[in-house]
Amino acid sequence: MQKDSNENPELKKTNLWNDANFRAMLFQVVAILAVFGFIGYIVNNALTNMEQRGIVTGFGFLTDQAGFGIVQTLIEYTETDSYGRTFIVGLLNTVLVSFLGIILATLLGFLIGVGRLSSNWLISKLSSLYIEIFRNIPLLLQIFFWYFAVLRALPPPKQSFDLGAGAFLNIRGFFLPKPIFEDGFSWVIGAIILAIAAVIYLVKSNKRRQLDTGIYKPVLLPSLAILFIIPALVFFVVGQPLSWDYPALRGFNFQGGLSIIPELMALLVALTIYTAAFIAEVVRSGIEAVSDGQSEAADALGLSNGQRLRLIVIPQALRVIIPPLTNQYLNLTKNSSLATAIGYPDLVSVFSGTTLNQTGQAIEIIFMTMGVYLTLSLLTSSLMNWYNRRVALVER
């Protein structure tokens, strides 16, 4: 470099400076160095400070024994497991409530959004009322409301509601018989997969025939029949490899079976109802964004009401709906951290709550927790982006 520029120093220098690309590059490098330098300084400073104050640092705690119990665990967990495992337990509980919440809020939100556009005065007014009420009450209040409403409405274990078929409902939760899969159940699973593949084939070939010949045959009934009959046949042939573990009242409460704790119910109800109000607005605006001309054209082509919605309106509305819908999904996931207010053992309650407190390692734990929410958000949005690209207008 030095030698090169020696040949014609003046010229080279001015040239380089005047090169916009070079300047841009240089600024970026400087900016990146500054950012990393700053982060490095902060990290180093924090470590020194903590060491001076006698606060333990590092991730070694993740393998230490946790020693506390957790009420709902999707994976095997006991007090003797590690703090690292409490992270997984909390994470899965967060994913569970977010996933269920997203599904339920989407269903309810679409219903209400469509309801708001209904020509039926009562339905449309009730939908508006729903949206205005639940969008405007702080979520935390709604969570408390549902939690204590749920608790107040349910009887103690000894007077449980018997819902039949081995299901019970009381203040400790919702108790269901738990399926126990025995040897040979994999055959049934195989049969289900086969049936699904068959249905996909049926639908596809039907569509092709329709495109080729214009003849449309209903596929709903045959599909349902395939989905049901094939697995059922296999199930009986391999000797019914399924039994049930029924919950039974023993001592303080029901033991065995599957149980859904009231904290999960309350949180799920609150998140669903709150987010559905926002999703309804998203859906309404999406549908309204499709111009009337499209519907009129569909009518002119002689499409039925259902066909018009399914083939013309919804595909176009989805393009408008997906991006803000993604936003609502992200909100729901983040809002699920309010769980700690009612004792639902999500990531924030278990890991950045109890684990943080027992170990005192705030910085490590907060960073791990932030990392989780960031990852969940990025995953959700990339999934939705992928879907968005699929439904986006294909330009020909």
Partner 1 sequence: MTRNKSLVSAAIVSLAIGSTAAQADTLENVTKKGYVQCGVSTGLPGFSNPDEKGNWTGIDVDVCRGVAAAVLGDASKVKYIPLNAKERFTALQSGEIDLLSRNTTWTLSRDASLGMNFSGVTYYDGQGFLINKGLGVKSATELDGASICIQAGTTTELNVSDYFRLKGMKFEPIVFDTSDQTVKGFEAGRCDVLTSDQSQLYALRIKLAEPEKAMVLPEVISKEPLGPSVRQGDDKWFSIVKWTLFAMINAEELGVSSANVDKMKTSDNPSIKRLLGTEGGLGANLGVSDDWAYKIVKQVGNYGEVFDRNVGENSPLKISRGLNALWSDGGLMYAPPAR
Closest distance between partner 1 and the C-beta of residue 146, in Å? 13
**What count of other Cβ atoms lies within 10 Å of the Cβ of residue 56?**
12
Structure tokens at 256: 């065995």
Window of 91-99, 198-206, 249-257, 277-285 that interacts with partner 1 by CB under 8 A? 249-257
Judged by CB under 8 A, the residue of 56, 129, 193, 374 near partner 1 is 56
SS (H, E, C) 120-168: CHHHHHHHHHHHHHHHHCCHHHHHHHHHHHHHHHCCCHHHCEECCCCCE
Q: Alpha-carbon distance 134 to 136, whole Å?
A: 5
Phi, psi (degrees; rounded to nearest 5) at 192: -65, -45
CA distances from 358 to 83, 171, 227, 352, 393 (A): 10, 30, 51, 10, 53
222 class by beta-carbon count within 10 Å (0-12 exposed, 13-18 middle, 19+ buried) = middle
Q: Are 22 and 30 in contact (CB under 8 A)?
A: no
Closest distance between partner 1 and the C-beta of residue 166, in Å? 19
Structure tokens at 277: 């109000």
Window of 12-20, 119-127, 250-258, 293-301 that interacts with partner 1 by CB under 8 A? 250-258
252 binds partner 1 (CB under 8 A): yes
If the CB atoms of residues 131 and 356 are measured against partner 1, the closer one turns out to be: 356
User: Which residues inside 277-316 make contact with partner 1, applying CB under 8 A?
Assistant: none
Q: Alpha-carbon distance 37 to 24, whole Å?
A: 20
Residues 6+ away with beta carbon under 8 Å from 186: none
Q: Which helix (DSSP H) or strand (DSSP E) does residue 294 occupy?
A: helix 292-301
User: Which residues inside 359-378 make contact with partner 1, applying CB under 8 A?
Assistant: 359-360, 362-363, 366
156 binds partner 1 (CB under 8 A): yes
22 binds partner 1 (CB under 8 A): no
If the CB atoms of residues 15 and 357 are measured against partner 1, the closer one turns out to be: 357
CA neighbor of 160 nearest in space, from 94, 296, 252: 252
If the CB atoms of residues 63 and 118 are measured against partner 1, the closer one turns out to be: 63
90 binds partner 1 (CB under 8 A): no
Closest distance between partner 1 and the C-beta of residue 366, in Å? 6
- Find residue 170's DSSP bridge partners: 173
Window of 16-24, 112-120, 233-241, 251-259 that interacts with partner 1 by CB under 8 A? 251-259
Q: Are 160 and 168 in contact (CB under 8 A)?
A: yes
Window of 128-136, 224-232, 245-253, 267-275 that interacts with partner 1 by CB under 8 A? 245-253
172 binds partner 1 (CB under 8 A): yes
43 binds partner 1 (CB under 8 A): yes
50 binds partner 1 (CB under 8 A): yes
If the CB atoms of residues 53 and 217 are measured against partner 1, the closer one turns out to be: 53
Judged by CB under 8 A, the residue of 86, 326, 349, 380 near partner 1 is 349
Chain residues in the site for partner 1 (CB under 8 A):
42-43, 45-46, 48-50, 52-56, 67-71, 79-80, 148, 151-152, 156, 171-172, 250-253, 255, 262-263, 338, 340-343, 345, 349, 352-354, 356-360, 362-363, 366
